[in-house]
Structure 1
């Protein structure tokens, strides 16, 4: 069974909402999601690194704090020297999602940071594959999939509200679609590798 590791930190619950939407999409595409939530002040990532090494794809998630990944996510990234030097994640499919309080919040920098991190590990990046879903200012625009217009990864807006309310339906749907896309891409990649062997 194809496994997709979803490695994320969530400070206030909003990133967790998106992580669960990503996991739903992975399941809908026939994969098995493996949710790996990074705890605040976590320093031991050995179990997470091993689970990622066994996974067929990895989707990283982080809130955007002060224009980049959160400190716990950065600690995870900085600690990944062991799998980096072993090339343990090389040729795995990778993707990412993020959320911040405002529509922009410099989320693109967070996704870029995670894409570079994946590239350093020799991973293969998958974007949303979606056109922007919001090209007007109508109130219904918050329900549109990919309403924030991201190509590099899924974005959500918390609007500084409770995770019971935000991210909105459209942002959750975008995260779910990313999970579907990554699982399908990993399955194609896996099948191609099996044929080449």
Structure 2
């Protein structure tokens, strides 16, 4: 069973969450986690001005995803930073190239799930995931979130991401905060949960 984790990460926060998602997938028997990045759309000089080159290089070993790989997966878990309450432009451009898959109904019935990051605690994490779901529904995905069975999203003793819609992390205004252990635990839970649901649908 192939679980595709497709993400974009500017400064490494979503990348770190994607790795935790993959760990969760790996806890399910016969489930293989496959990490893929969406293509970069920003030129090198812009990335340099953003201070994102080093973070991009640490992800260079992750292959860039092709749209055909979506059709070959049994489930797809998408990761995107928040951009004004929506997915980032790189992810939007990648999804806009999936019209051929839509025409074929190639993704109908597959499990789809989303995780995200934002700079601030109330920076649009939930709206990013919910608006992402619209694209998944048009493709016929069966949407899976992060149920309250993950008790970490009930915590009030620390600032933390995570909601019933999916795992998330708070990066800080300058990207200074990496995912907390609670947020990584949420990502692992989501990866395992998606793989378990996909396995049930296949069986």
Match of 1:133 in 2: 153
How far the C-alpha of 1:48 sits from its partner, in A, is 2.1
Which of residues 96, 108, 113 in structure 1 aligns to 2:114?
Answer: 96
TM normalised by structure 1 equals 0.84
Match of 2:16 in 1: 17
Q: Does the alignment pair 1:111 with 2:129?
A: yes
Match of 1:195 in 2: none
When the two chains are superposed, the root-mean-square deviation of aligned CA atoms in Å is 2.0
Query: Mean Cα displacement is larger for which, 147-156 or 119-128?
Result: 147-156
Match of 1:41 in 2: 41
Q: Does the alignment pair 1:156 with 2:169?
A: yes
Match of 1:189 in 2: 201
CA contact (8 A) 2:82 2:118 kept: yes
Match of 2:45 in 1: none
TM normalised by structure 2 equals 0.82
Q: Does the alignment pair 1:54 with 2:66?
A: no
Q: Distance in 1 between matches of 2:69 and 2:81?
A: 22
Which structure is higher in strand share?
Answer: 1
Count of residue pairs the alignment pairs up: 179
Deviations 1:152-192 (A, max 9, x none): 111111124557x511111111011100000000000000x
Match of 1:68 in 2: 86
Where structure 1 has 5 or more consecutive residues not aligned to the other structure, the ranges are: 192-197
Closer, same or farther: CA 71–149 of 1 in aligned 2, 3 Å? closer
